[in-house]
Chain A
Amino acid sequence: MLAAVHWGTIGRVVWVSLASGIAAATVFSLVVLASARATEHRHAGRSAVAFGFGVLGTVAFAVFAAGIALGVHVMLQK
């Protein structure tokens, strides 16, 4: 009876879930971190460092948004 189970499909669900879930959490944490640090440095008058964190936050947010777009695209492709 176990032979009826599509272990390949399950394996794919497991690794895609792990990769996408962990990637989403990591990238969005970077957005939050960069945003918080950019604000701190701007208030402290360290404009260059604040700009660096701003760039990091923007890039991380772009990656996060791309991940969401990919998720929606995957749904639309079925």
Chain B
Amino acid sequence: MADDLVLWIVVATALAFDFTNGFHDTANAVATSISTRAMPPNLAVGLAASLNFVGAFLSLAVAATIATGIVEPDLITPPIVFAGLIGAIAWNLATWYFGLPASSSHALIGGVVGSALVAAGPQAVIFSGLLEKVIVPALIAPVLAFVVAGVAILIIHRIVGRQRPGPVTRGFRLGQIVSGSLFSLSHGTNDAQKTMGIIFLALVANGNLSQSDDVPTWVVVSAASAIALGTYVGGWRIIRTMGSRIIKMDPAQGFAAQATGAAVIMSASHAGFPLSTTHVISGAIMGAGAGKRVSAVRWGVAGNIAVAWVLTLPAAAAVGAATYAVVALLGSETLGPIVVSAVLLALLSVALGRRLLAGRTLTAEG
């Protein structure tokens, strides 16, 4: 009974992470469309949320890979997963506060690795898996997207560069609606499944499922709903950074970034290769800017984003480790998650209450 209570706390925390993943990554799908006025903001986030929901049902390949290969499943307990999720949520909220587009997936992996290290020692972590699934993709994703988008914008300018700006702008705005929709769909196929993977890991750790079982339908539906809701709320601070602070974007650049970003994410998703959508679209936006003029990219902003990427794994790991240490200090695998989640809920209520008293909205915009 107590074990099941902890499991449900873990599932609720995983869905909370999924929600933060949604609002943190809204920018990936909509920032370029909003920035170039291809779509009004509310329509853009509504469409992105719907397509993220649909996309979550289309593929389970990434869900199958995220839960295995990075930590030893036999050593993982629900409190380890819980502490890891707290680490990921904390990093997502911190980077959202500073308007920095960092990878929610890497935060999730970092959080779980940190808590597993404290709980079970180095043997709980598969370092070769960490290299293969986090470090190598983190190096490849932005560079690949940068190159593809850079080449794409050069080709676009070669083809339409001498045309009158009006029809070209209208054409690429229409193209952005299509490419943005495709990006949202591919984002859903990639990111919702990471939460499915972590819930699956908790269910295996609690003995409800075995590694060879399929992901249950209720896990798919709840993860899809949480990421869609988060996407709809929208992380406007990050949308501003990606839409206008990295480069001042025209519709052709927005289309190039989104279309090539979708191509990279879909290729990776098809291979069951967990690539960060944030790294891909950020690299693509920089590539679309640099392809036109290298100095068009605000490299200082790009540098801040790169620092956030480098810090994601260790920072989320540190919070995950600290959370697990607190859980362990309470002396029980059951009491720890209950007390920590109650304290965090109380802190969240105080923060929301203060926002309401200050007359501010409860959206992620503020």
Where the two chains meet, the residues of A that have a C-beta atom closer than 8 Å to any C-beta of B are: 1-2, 4-6, 9-10, 12-14, 16-18, 20-22, 24-26, 28-33, 35-37, 39-40, 68, 71-72, 74-78
Contact = CB atoms under 8 A, between A and B. Distances in A.
A11 to B, nearest CB: 10
B178 A10 contact: no
Contacts of A13: 140, 144, 264, 267-268, 271, 273, 275
B156 interface: yes
A13 to B, nearest CB: 5
A21 B268 contact: no
Contact of A1 (B131, B140, B155): B131
A36 B160 CA distance: 9
B129 interface: yes
Contact of A32 (B59, B132, B167, B267): B167
Contacts of B128: 1, 4
A29 B145 CA distance: 19
A55 B271 CA distance: 36
A37 B263 CA distance: 28
Given A4-B129, A29-B160, A32-B160, A17 B144 contact: yes
Contacts of B5: none
B205 interface: no
Interface residues of B, number: 53
Nearest to B168: A32
B170 to A, nearest CB: 9
B271 A25 contact: no
B167 A39 contact: yes
B167 A2 contact: no
B260 to A, nearest CB: 4
A12 to B, nearest CB: 6
Contacts of A35: 167, 171
Nearest to A5: B132
A76 B129 CA distance: 27
Contacts of A29: 155-156, 159-160
A17 B148 contact: yes
Contact of A28 (B149, B255, B270, B271): B255
B65 to A, nearest CB: 11
A20 to B, nearest CB: 4
Contacts of B155: 22, 25-26, 29
Given A17-B264, A24-B259, A25-B155, A36 B167 contact: yes
B263 A20 contact: yes
A28 B271 CA distance: 26
